[in-house]
């Protein structure tokens, strides 16, 4: 009996997709490289997920969890013929505790839908990736996603208290808990950011934040990238941690403004989008302080949103940045590295130089407050050799970030896109320790194989015995 036949008996034919067209659609995420899919299944309960995992184990077929497919590092793309477990039907929002500020939610809940559902309670879910109108909570957990408003509030791991996990053997466990300091090893923090390599998350206990009483959003234009970056550094150095500090270069501003018409200053060399929240008196003082610092660094256009509609339009511009690039080219490659704030300008100049050297169109938009860069290459994949040039340039961008003390990823994850670059940051001992954790959860190696850790991460002695 084939795996697909067993799956159809379990779920019914309608929830097992293996038609060539379905396979082609599911074989790719928002990145640039497709994978190899045997079938995609659409479970609706934790028990079904557990049964699917046990069937895949019996047939020795790799298992890859998938959400909305908005990932950019290939984390949900099988590197060998595998079974996709698509969790988009897990959309429950249950047990909302407005006093404890928690809720149990399904991994298929759209990020923005969670906050919208809680508007009447004066609560929201803080992590807000640019894809928040499409990405799912499960995907956010998998990559430890961030977003513009994670500068002050922290990334996803700071907003997850517990997760229900189907292990690679098909058991169901809960890591973490409602208590603020759950006894034992913090396996919750191990699972968040593990990119589906340790199991399949089927429920999440999220931390909810009180919506602020007041908010102000500033749009500031600068004559140079250097002056914008200096403003970011001085704002943080002043002791002020805004809710968000986002930066765009001239090319990205032009693309966004042509797409959204939000009133961005297209003559500026760089634009800073800043937001402060809190009591009205604090918001007024912080807004004035940011504006003063920006003017000290030569800002020639300081605009404060006058109402909710204008503020929403400014943020629509920022969060539409990647879609706006479609005006320039049919494909894009979006990178994700982190550098110290004090080295922003230096690394950005290197990124521009790399793009020029490879003859690529570079646009930049990033979380300036925490140094999370998102250099974007707009290109046409049909042009012979173009994808290879883009990928070669991307590797150089990563190395430039690492050389100044940066990191491989701020929020997109490692997947297979950066898997083989892990030794740039981690020693053989570090990689072996991570591989041991993977092996403890997944001794058969069937859960999202060939992701995150490069081949050979597990150390062996001279006799070929695992250490």
Segment 108-151, tens digit of pLDDT: 999 999 999 999 999 999 999 989 999 999 999 999 999 999 99
Q: How confident is the model at residue 461 (pLDDT cuts 50, 70, 90)?
A: very low
CA geometry: angle at 169 spanning 176 and 64, to 5°? 85
Helix residue ranges per DSSP H, 304-365: 308-319, 321-324, 344-357
pTM greater than 0.95 (yes/no): no
The tokens for 47 are 């028990």
What is the 8-class DSSP label of residue 309? H
Summarised one tens digit per residue, pLDDT across range 395-448 is 999 999 999 999 999 899 999 999 999 999 999 999 999 999 999 999 999 999
Q: Specify whether 300 is located in the same domain as 199.
A: no
Residue 136 DSSP class: B
- Judge whether residue 462 has pLDDT over 80: no
Task: Specify whether 337 is located in the same domain as 317.
Answer: no
Mean pLDDT throughout 68-92? 95
pLDDT at 98 > cutoff 60? yes
Question: Residue 212 gets which letter from DSSP?
Answer: P
Residue 1 confidence class, pLDDT cut points 50, 70, 90: low
Q: What is the tens place of the pLDDT at every residue in 312-327? A: 999 999 998 888 888 8
* Bridging pattern class, strands 200-207 and 102-105: antiparallel
Tokens 């795996």, residue? 3
Domain tally, the chain: 5
CB atoms within 10 A of CB 394: 23
pLDDT digits (tens, 9 = 90+) for 259-280: 999 999 999 999 999 999 999 9
- Domain containing 348 — which CATH number? 3.30.70.2740
Q: For residue 340, give the DSSP letter.
A: -
Average pLDDT over residues 179-204: 93
pLDDT, residue 459, reads 76
**One domain, residues 314 and 232:** yes
Show Cβ contacts of residue 4 under 8 Å, excluding neighbours closer than 6 positions. Answer: 16, 18, 38, 39
Domain closes at, from 60, 86, 112: 86
What is the extent of the structural domain holding 290? 214-322
Name the band, by pLDDT with cuts 50, 70 and 90, for residue 178: confident
**In this structure, what are the phi and psi dihedrals at residue 262, rounded to the nearest 5 degrees?**
-90, 0
CATH label of the domain that carries residue 101: 3.30.465.10
265 & 304 share domain = yes
The per-residue pLDDT for 463 is: 44
Residues 200, 225 within the same domain: no
* C-alpha span between 273 and 320 (Å, rounded): 14
In this prediction, residue 32 has a pLDDT band, given cuts at 50, 70 and 90, of confident
Domain of 269, CATH number, reads 3.30.70.3450
Average pLDDT, the chain: 93
Q: Count Cα atoms within 13 angstroms, Cβ side, for 124.
A: 14
Tell me, yes or no, whether 160 and 196 share the same domain: yes
> 172-201: b or e for each residue (b if 16 or more CB lie within 10 Å)?
beebbeeeeebeeeebbebbbbbbbbbbbb
Q: Do both 142 and 128 map to the same domain?
A: yes
188 and 163 in contact (C-beta within 8 Å)?
A: yes
Which of 381, 402, 420 is the C-terminal boundary of a domain?
A: 420
Q: Can you tell me the distance from the alpha carbon of 357 to that of 169, in angstroms, rounded to the nearest whole number?
A: 49
**Residues 395, 354: Cα–Cα separation, whole Å:** 10
Average pLDDT over residues 279-297: 96
Q: By mean pLDDT, which of 30-34, 123-127, 136-140, 354-358 is the weakest?
A: 30-34
188 sits in which H/E element: helix 187-191
pLDDT digits over 227-256, tens only?
999 999 999 999 999 999 999 999 999 999
pLDDT confidence tier of residue 466, bands split at 50, 70 and 90: low
């Amino acid at each position: 009996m084939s795996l697909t036949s067993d799956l159809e008996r379990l779920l019914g034919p309608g929830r097992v997709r293996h038609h060539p067209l379905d396979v082609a659609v599911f074989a790719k995420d928002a990145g640039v490289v497709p994978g190899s899919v045997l079938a995609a299944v659409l479970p609706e309960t934790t028990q079904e997920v557990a049964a699917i995992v046990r069937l895949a184990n019996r047939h020795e077929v790799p298992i890859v969890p998938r959400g909305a497919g908005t990932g950019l590092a290939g984390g949900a793309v099988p590197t060998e013929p595998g079974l996709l477990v698509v969790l988009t039907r897990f959309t429950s929002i249950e047990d909302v505790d407005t006093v404890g500020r928690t809720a149990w939610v399904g991994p298929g809940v759209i990020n923005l839908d969670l906050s919208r559902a809680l508007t009447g309670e004066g609560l929201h879910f803080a992590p807000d990736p640019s894809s928040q109108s499409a990405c799912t909570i499960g995907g956010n957990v998998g990559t430890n996603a961030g977003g513009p408003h994670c500068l002050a509030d922290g990334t996803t791991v700071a907003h997850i208290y517990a997760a229900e996990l189907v292990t690679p053997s098909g058991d169901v466990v809960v890591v973490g808990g409602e208590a603020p300091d759950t006894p034992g090893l913090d396996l919750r923090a191990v699972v968040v950011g593990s990119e589906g390599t340790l199991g399949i998350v089927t429920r999440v206990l999220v931390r909810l934040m009180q919506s602020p009483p007041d908010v102000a959003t500033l749009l500031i234009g600068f004559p140079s990238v250097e002056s914008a970056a200096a403003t970011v550094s001085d704002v943080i150095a002043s002791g002020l941690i805004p809710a968000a500090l986002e930066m765009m270069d001239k090319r990205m501003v032009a693309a966004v403004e042509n797409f959204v018409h939000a009133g961005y200053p297209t003559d500026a060399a760089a634009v800073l989008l800043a937001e402060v929240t809190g009591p009205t008196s604090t918001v007024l003082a912080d807004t004035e302080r940011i504006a003063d610092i920006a003017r000290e660094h030569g800002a020639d256009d300081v605009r404060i949103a006058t109402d909710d509609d204008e503020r929403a339009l400014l943020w629509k511009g920022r969060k539409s940045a990647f879609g706006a690039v479609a005006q320039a080219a049919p494909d894009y490659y979006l990178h994700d590295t982190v550098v110290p704030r004090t080295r922003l300008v230096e690394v950005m100049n290197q990124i521009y130089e790399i793009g020029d050297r490879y003859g690529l169109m570079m646009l930049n938009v990033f979380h300036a407050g925490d140094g999370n860069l998102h250099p974007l290459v707009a290109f046409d994949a049909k042009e012979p050799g173009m994808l290879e040039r883009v990928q070669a340039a991307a590797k150089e961008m990563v190395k430039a970030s690492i050389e100044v003390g940066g990191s491989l990823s701020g929020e997109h994850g490692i997947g297979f896109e950066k898997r083989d670059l892990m030794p740039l940051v981690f020693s053989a001992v570090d990689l072996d320790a991570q591989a041991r954790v993977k092996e403890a959860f997944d001794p058969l190696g069937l859960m999202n194989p060939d992701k995150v850790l490069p081949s050979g991460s597990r150390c062996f002695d001279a006799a070929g015995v695992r250490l």
